[in-house]
Structure 1
């Protein structure tokens, strides 16, 4: 729904988009393009969380001589920024394949644009591997990383407003004496952080989705700034908040589960290390 709302045609609002997708493509339409993200989400999340936590530990070691020292706000900001930068390198190709697969059956309706020879409404790609290989062959590495600039502008502030609110909320809810917060507090803090992050990131998410979907049939946008200007001129300021409801509603449960799984995994690994150490 998010991609169709942001880059598709004929989706006036979330409910209208949901009904349109179901009517035209049945239940399977809601899961188009998800195999590639599902196959890579474990690697993606582990790398991003690893960069964030290890950067904080490194800064604590360098500044205070103790890797476990509580991070300052500046340390969290730098660690979040690095996590956002790394996420672009991993996530851009994944998002591109997902969006191309989701948008390849959408009609185009734009005056003065150069359409490709493939007729809209018919599948261009047979699956994620074929999509990746086709884009790489026809557009090169720059095609695979199409929309990376917009994703950078989305993920760097997005991850700052993902990890920092989560850390502050966990610190606020943690009991006295340096104990870890309860699982319910972790779940709530993670969900709130996810909703905040996605709400702020939605404008650049719209731009990224439009740039990456642009290559299926049209060559409309020349870059991030051109996409911003064209979108604003044709649809006004409200266009940058398309899909914000889906993003924030989805962001809460996904992020709460992600952070809870992360914290419980860390506890389990620490417990296992303490049991095996002499």
Structure 2
């Protein structure tokens, strides 16, 4: 397979391992976990054992590696196609955003089931019920393959917009940093440039789509009509007396706004931004390093 496939796969898996503890906090804040308040004690209480640090990580490690591989392969191919008429020149920032958005949309087939299983594992209050494989089997048993793609529309929208800004901000920050260094007549360490630009790209990406991610999390973790597991978001069911059903993204967003105000769509953003900087700095560093190892003729971006 191509160098960017393996670079994307390995960097994606590495990012999950690094960022899973903070991702667990983000998901629980977004879903409105009652026991989680904004105090240090309540944050640390979420990690009662070593196993809790990697809760919900199995699905993302397997799925996100494939997702990241698909993302980078699609982005690189699309970017090359869109900029075929300007060979030798830096890619246009608009086509960079568009190529990223197309790459993000292509990941939908992997990201939706991965996010669904991950979020439910992280929200579960029962350690024995938090197995990614156990949750997957339960969904397949009760809902079939379609059950793994619940929340797919809002996930696709989130990924398309988010990854558009992801590659756009990385490209923009790389150019600005290199331009500033040339003006000062100094040379910058390549590793430092990649880490800073990668971290910045991660923060910009999540800031641009965080409300959509909150809605996605709540859509995917709401109570199931025929599930034997404990309710995750009891407020997401319809009025008493009616048949229980899962709500769509618009209904979930409307209910969240009415009950918790506009601030609910930014709950967990601080934790997410810290995680995004660390994870994406590491991901881009791993990606660029592997690309240079597998394709020695290629120069690091910038």
Give your verdict on TM over 0.5: yes
CA, structure 1 residues 229+104, in 2 after alignment: closer, same or farther (shift >3 Å)?
same
Q: Quick one: which of 80, 92, 100 aligns to 2:112? A: 92
Shift of 1:239: 0.5
Name the counterpart of 1:38: 61
What are the ranges of 5 or more consecutive residues in structure 1 without an aligned counterpart?
106-120
Matched residues, number: 251
- 1:104 touches 1:123 (CA, 8 Å); kept in 2? no
CA, structure 1 residues 273+210, in 2 after alignment: closer, same or farther (shift >3 Å)?
closer
Shift of 1:41: 2.8
Name the counterpart of 1:204: 212
Distance 1:82 1:222 in 2: 27
- 2:103 touches 2:163 (CA, 8 Å); kept in 1? yes
Secondary structure at 2:35 match in 1: coil
Q: Tell me whether 1:234 sits opposite 2:254 in the alignment.
A: no
Name the counterpart of 1:147: 151
Cα deviations by residue, 1:21-63 (Å, 9 ceiling, x for unpaired): 24xx4343232111121223322212111111111112222x3
Structure 1 residue runs of 4+, over 6 Å off? none
Q: Quick one: which of 18, 42, 47 aligns to 2:43? A: 18
Name the counterpart of 1:162: 166
Distance 1:5 1:21 in 2: 11
Name the counterpart of 2:90: 70
Name the counterpart of 2:202: 194
**TM-score for the superposition, normalised by structure 1:** 0.81
Shift of 1:243: 0.9
Structure with bigger RCO (C-alpha 8 Å, 6+ apart): 2
What are the ranges of 5 or more consecutive residues in structure 2 without an aligned counterpart?
1-24, 238-245
Distance 1:14 1:72 in 2: 44
- More moved, 222-231 vs 45-54: 45-54
**TM-score for the superposition, normalised by structure 2:** 0.75
Shift of 1:84: 1.4
Query: RMSD in angstroms over aligned alpha carbons?
Result: 2.5
Shift of 1:181: 7.7
CA, structure 1 residues 242+79, in 2 after alignment: closer, same or farther (shift >3 Å)?
same
CA, structure 1 residues 148+128, in 2 after alignment: closer, same or farther (shift >3 Å)?
same
Secondary structure at 1:13 match in 2: coil
- 1:165 touches 1:193 (CA, 8 Å); kept in 2? yes
Shift of 1:14: 5.9
